[in-house]
Amino acid sequence: MTGLRELARRAVAKARPPAEAAVALLRPAARKAPEIVVAVGLVVSVLLGLVLVAAARNDAHIDASIGRAVGEVLEGGSGPHVYVRFTTGEGAVLTPEDGVFYPRGLEPGQLVRVEYDRTDPELVRVAGRTWTEGLLPVALGLLVLWAVVAPGAWALGRARRRREEAVAAREAWTVRDGDENEGDGEREDGEPEMAGAGHR
């Protein structure tokens, strides 16, 4: 048992310096936790907005040189990447690597009308769908994001204010105790003078 305790004590002693260094590095970030949480929320919000901007840009390219075809939905796609095979007006058979835009509801083997950019056939979307398809998912994502970020930042800010108030209260008590001790010292020093004055 003594040997185990000694090993544990040595392990704790070795781990303490790195742990203290990590705490020292993280302490400034912890003080800025509310701002960091809000900043992360803003970054994610901007990224979601950029998704819509990119989709609108792709739609603009397709609309500028639009081609139409009937495509077959292929096996193996999932989520945002659903692949279609279609034949362009020039007779080329294509399967865009990034899949078809706005693939909601498509099933393997299904035939679907698609619109593509004739200058860049890799840009293909389901006919009749545009970037506005992403408005609802993005809006819901932002709602969930800020439903978490806003209360979290508020709670962290409140905790920080409480810590600052506690530190200020301790400092105030320390200053008050120091003033009281100095006052006691002055009264003790004044007593001999009073005694001497009475003797004269």
Q: Please tell me whether residues 152 and 76 are part of one structural domain.
A: no
- pLDDT, residue 33, reads 86
SS3 content of the chain, % helix, strand, coil (to 5): 65, 15, 20
- pLDDT, residue 49, reads 95
- pLDDT, residue 126, reads 95
Give phi and psi for 74, each to the nearest 5. Answer: -95, 160
- Please say which residue of 103, 129, 155 terminates a domain: 129
Structural domain contains residue 23: no
Structural domain contains residue 192: no
Which range of residues forms the domain containing residue 102?
Answer: 65-129
- pLDDT, residue 166, reads 85
State the Rg of the chain over Cα.
35
- pLDDT, residue 73, reads 94
- pLDDT, residue 197, reads 47
Q: Please tell me whether residues 121 and 140 are part of one structural domain.
A: no
For the chain, the domain total comes to 2
Distance in angstroms (rounded) separating the CA atoms of residues 16 and 128 = 63
Structural domain contains residue 193: no
Distance in angstroms (rounded) separating the CA atoms of residues 47 and 141 = 11
Mean per-residue pLDDT pooled into runs of 10, the chain (200 residues)? 62 64 56 89 96 95 95 83 91 92 91 95 94 93 96 90 83 70 54 47
- pLDDT, residue 29, reads 60
